[in-house]
Amino acid sequence: MVNYIWLGLILFGILTAAAQGDIDVVTKAALDGAATAVNTALSLIAIMAFWLGIMKVAEAAGFIEFLAKLVRPLIRLLFPSLPPKHPAVGAIMMNLSANFLGLGNAATPMGLLAMREMQTLNRQPDVASEAMCTFLALNTSCVTIPTTMIGIRAIYGSTEPAAIVGTTLFATTCGMAVAILVDRCLRHLYAVQER
């Protein structure tokens, strides 16, 4: 559906420019937009490489395992069906860590790995388990430090690129709290309906 909306917007823009007799503006805008996208992407490579490197070093140094042990009580509370030393726990921690640092691209492979590992414990392969639903809620609403947005703001000359950190942390913390609360409520409601 979104593809059709984008196609409609593009066609409407082209037709409007043609009706006004200024079709060259479309070509210029397309080329300028492509150049801006490439420059922004190249500028963000340093930020992404830095944080991905930090995550790799943390993983190799055992920091992720240490962090997993530190938050294991919280993980046990949120994911009671997962065995304590199951590989899904480490993948969940890596995913949430990447999301926390604002690295959605790095979080995606860890999220897929976590889901695959949780699927090995799923008794109904065609239905998402409770742990999978909880993880999806956490992944979608994770508390985030907007490192990528800070980088973009710095690239485009913001005088205070990190000014968004406080509001972003507040908003994402509220979002994650609501996601956990809704997950618990729906889980309880589902359990009551099954009885």
Question: What pLDDT was estimated at residue 22?
Answer: 84
Question: What pLDDT was estimated at residue 194?
Answer: 64
Structural domain boundaries of the chain? 45-194
Question: What pLDDT was estimated at residue 48?
Answer: 75
Q: What is the mean pLDDT of residues 29-49?
A: 82
Q: Coil, helix or strand for 124? A: coil
Q: How far is CA 55 from the centre of its chain?
A: 15
The rounded distance, in Å, linking the Cα atoms of 37 and 110 is: 26
In eight-state DSSP terms, residue 161 is: G
For the question of whether the overall pTM of this predicted structure is more than 0.75, the answer is no
Residue 144 pLDDT level (bands cut at 50, 70, 90) = confident
Residue in 174, 107, 167 with CA at minimum distance from that of residue 135 = 107
**CB contact set of 124 (below 8 Å; sequence gap of 6+):** none
Residue in 37, 66, 9, 71 with CA at minimum distance from that of residue 152 = 37
Question: What pLDDT was estimated at residue 68?
Answer: 66
Question: What pLDDT was estimated at residue 43?
Answer: 77
**How high is the mean pLDDT of the chain?**
85
Residue-wise pLDDT tens digits, 48-66: 787 778 778 877 888 767 7
Question: Rg (Cα) of the chain, in Å, rounded?
Answer: 22
Residue-wise pLDDT tens digits, 62-119: 876 777 677 778 888 888 888 878 888 888 888 888 888 777 777 888 899 999 999 9
Residue 36 has pLDDT above 90, yes or no: no
Question: What pLDDT was estimated at residue 192?
Answer: 67
